[in-house]
Structure 1
C-alpha cells in the first residue's frame, strides 16, 4: 500500500487560452455551410420523393381507366386498390 501513497497528483498544464480551444469564425462558417448543404439536400430529396409519388398515382389512375375501358372492375381484396 505504500506505492499508492507515493503517487503524485497531476497538475494541470497552464497556457491554453480561449482562442486556442474555440473553433472561431472558421469553425462557425464551416458548420453554417454544412447546415445549408443539408437543408438543400433535404429539399431536393423531398422534391424527388413527391415526383415519384405523383408518377405512381398517375400510373394507378391510368391502369384503373384501362381496366374500366376493358370492362374489368377492381377485384375484391386487391392490395394495390384497397
Structure 2
C-alpha cells in the first residue's frame, strides 16, 4: 500500500463540450414520439387481425359441426 501512497491523484477532467450540442433536443423527442405511436398502432392492428383469424376459425368449426350433424341426421333417415 505504501508505493501507492506517494502518487498524486489524477484531476477530474472538465467538460469542454457544450451540453446543448450533444442532447437530442426537440427533434429526438419528436422521433421517439413518432416511433412510440407507430408501435402502438402496429400492435393494435396485429391484435385486430389475430382476433379476426380466431373468430373465423370458430365459425368454421361451428359450421363443420352443423354440417356433420345434418349428415348424421340424413344417414339416420336413409337407414
Provide structure 1 residue ranges, at least 5 long, that are not aligned to the other structure: 73-82
Alignment RMSD: 2.0
Question: Is 1:50–2:51 an aligned residue pair?
Answer: yes
Paired residue for 1:76?
A: none
The equivalences for 1:63-78 within 5 A come to 63-71=64-72
Bigger radius of gyration among the two = 2
Query: Larger relative contact order (C-alpha < 8 A, sep ≥ 6)?
Result: 1
Q: Distance in 2 between matches of 1:7 and 1:43?
A: 60
More helix by share: 2
Paired residue for 1:4?
A: 4
* TM-score w.r.t. length of structure 2: 0.73
Q: How many residues align?
A: 72
Q: Cα distance, 1:47 vs. partner?
A: 1.5
